[in-house]
C-alpha cells in the first residue's frame, strides 16, 4: 500500500482518483508520494523513501528541483490543467485596464451616501472613459497551453494576435492557434506591434527582468502589460517609471509585492490565476494520475527535473531507474527484454522490462540515484 502526503489542501476530485491501494498519511517521513500547491519546500528535509512530488499547478519555483533530482525524487507539474482559468483572468485584466472598472467602482463606493448619486454618476463617468478591445492587438510571449487559449479568446473578440516563443513554436502548437495569428521570430516585433503584452513563461535566469525599460521603449505609447506568469519577469522599478511617464497605461499583475501593491497605476491581484474550483480539480486530478502512473507503471510523464519517458509494459518485471550521466541500461545486470531511456540536464530515466526477477544488486551500479522495481 502506497502512502501519500499533502502539503496543501488538494481537491477531493483528484484524491478520489487514488485506488484503495493508496492511503493518506499525516507523516511526511512515511510518504512515497507528495502533493503540493503553493507550500515552499526549499527548506524541507525529504525522507529517503519519497519517490515523487506532484505539483498541482504549472509553476515549480516553490520546489528545490536540483535537490530532488540528487535524491532521486521525480517532480511533476500539471501543464495546461489551469490554462483556461488563467486565460479568463487575462481577459479580465484587459477589461479592467481598458474600461477602468476598478476606478469606477471606487467612485461608487466613495459616493454611496450621496442621495443624488444617479445624477452625479452621469457627470463623474467622464473620468472613466475607456477603450474597446475590438481591433486592438495582443502580443503573447510564451505560446504554450495558456498562450493558445489567450490567442483564441482575443481573436474571438476581434483582436489581432502576435505570438512569440523563445524556444520556437512546435508544429502542433501552431496548428492550435487561431487563423490569422502572426508568429514572429523576434521579441522586439511583439513589443513594437502590440496594444497589450501578456507573458506566459517560467521565471528563469533568462526571463528575469525580461520586460524592462530597454524594451518598454520599443512599445507603443499606452501599452498594457499583463503578468500572470511569475514575479520577477517584469522589472518593478522600470514599469513604475513607465506608468508615470504615460508610456505604459497599466500594469496588471497576479503576484503582490510591497512594491507593486503601492505602485500607482498598477492593478495587482492576489494570485488568482488558478483559483477556480475547476482549475483546482483539474490540477489535482492530473497530479494524482501522474503519481499513479509512476508508482504502478514506472512511467515518467510531465517531469520537470527528469526527462519524461514512457514505455508499454512487455515483461513480467519492470525497473524504473533514475540516474546521473549519459546512459545506464548497458551497465545493468539484467536480461533486458525491452528498454527506453533519456537524459535531460545531466539526469536520466531508464525503464527496463524483463521476464526475470530483479534484485537490488542488478540495478546498483555507478550513477544510479534511485530505482523502483514493479
Active site (catalytic) residues = 230, 259, 271
Which cell is 122 given?
Answer: 452621469
Radius of gyration of the chain from its Cα atoms, rounded to whole angstroms: 24
How many Å apart are CA 242 and CA 251, to the nearest integer?
10
* Strands 52-55 and 74-76, bridge-based pairing: parallel
Which residues, including other chains, have CB under 8 Å from residue 371's CB and lie 6 or more apart?
A: 319, 320, 321, 322, 363, 364
SS3 294: helix
Q: Is the dihedral of CA 43, 44, 47, 53 positive or negative?
A: negative
How many Å apart are CA 173 and CA 226, to the nearest integer?
22
How many Å apart are CA 242 and CA 51, to the nearest integer?
47
Contact 291, 54 (CB under 8 A): yes
SS3 139: strand
Which residues, including other chains, have CB under 8 Å from residue 331's CB and lie 6 or more apart?
A: 365, 366, 367
Amino acid at each position: 500500500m502506497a502512502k501519500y502526503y499533502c502539503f496543501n489542501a488538494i481537491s477531493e476530485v483528484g484524491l478520489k482518483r487514488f485506488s484503495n491501494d493508496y492511503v493518506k498519511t499525516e507523516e511526511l517521513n512515511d510518504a512515497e508520494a507528495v502533493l503540493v500547491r503553493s507550500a515552499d519546500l526549499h527548506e524541507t528535509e525529504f525522507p529517503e523513501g519519497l519517490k515523487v512530488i506532484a505539483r498541482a499547478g504549472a509553476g515549480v519555483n516553490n520546489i528545490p528541483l536540483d535537490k530532488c533530482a540528487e535524491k532521486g525524487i521525480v517532480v511533476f507539474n500539471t501543464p495546461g490543467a489551469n490554462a483556461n482559468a488563467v486565460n479568463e483572468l487575462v481577459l479580465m485584466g484587459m477589461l479592467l485596464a481598458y474600461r477602468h472598472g476598478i476606478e469606477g467602482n471606487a467612485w461608487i463606493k466613495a459616493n454611496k451616501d450621496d442621495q443624488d448619486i444617479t445624477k452625479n454618476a452621469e457627470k463623474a463617468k467622464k473620468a472613466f472613459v475607456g477603450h474597446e478591445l475590438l481591433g486592438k492587438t495582443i502580443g503573447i510571449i510564451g505560446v504554450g497551453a495558456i498562450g493558445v487559449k489567450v490567442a483564441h479568446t482575443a481573436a474571438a473578440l476581434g483582436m489581432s494576435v502576435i505570438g512569440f516563443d523563445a524556444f520556437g513554436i512546435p508544429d502542433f502548437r501552431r496548428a492550435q492557434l487561431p487563423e490569422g495569428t502572426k508568429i514572429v521570430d523576434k521579441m522586439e516585433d511583439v513589443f513594437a506591434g502590440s496594444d497589450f503584452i501578456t507573458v506566459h513563461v517560467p521565471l528563469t535566469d533568462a526571463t528575469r527582468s525580461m520586460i524592462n525599460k530597454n524594451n518598454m521603449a520599443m512599445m507603443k505609447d499606452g501599452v498594457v502589460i499583463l503578468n500572470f506568469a511569475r514575479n520577477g519577469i517584469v522589472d518593478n522599478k522600470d514599469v513604475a517609471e513607465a506608468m508615470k511617464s504615460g508610456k505604459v497605461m497599466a500594469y496588471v499583475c497576479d503576484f503582490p509585492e510591497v512594491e507593486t501593491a503601492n505602485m500607482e497605476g498598477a492593478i495587482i491581484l492576489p494570485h488568482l490565476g488558478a483559483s477556480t474550483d475547476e482549475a483546482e480539480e483539474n490540477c489535482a486530478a492530473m497530479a494524482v494520475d501522474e503519481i499513479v502512473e509512476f508508482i504502478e507503471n514506472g512511467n515518467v510523464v510531465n517531469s520537470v527535473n527528469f526527462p519524461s519517458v514512457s514505455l508499454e509494459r512487455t515483461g513480467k518485471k519492470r525497473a524504473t531507474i533514475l540516474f546521473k550521466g549519459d546512459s545506464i541500461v548497458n551497465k545493468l545486470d539484467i536480461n533486458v527484454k525491452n528498454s527506453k531511456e533519456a537524459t535531460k540536464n545531466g539526469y536520466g530515466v531508464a525503464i527496463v522490462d524483463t521476464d526475470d526477477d530483479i534484485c537490488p544488486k542488478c540495478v546498483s551500479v555507478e550513477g544510479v540515484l534511485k530505482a523502483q522495481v514493479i
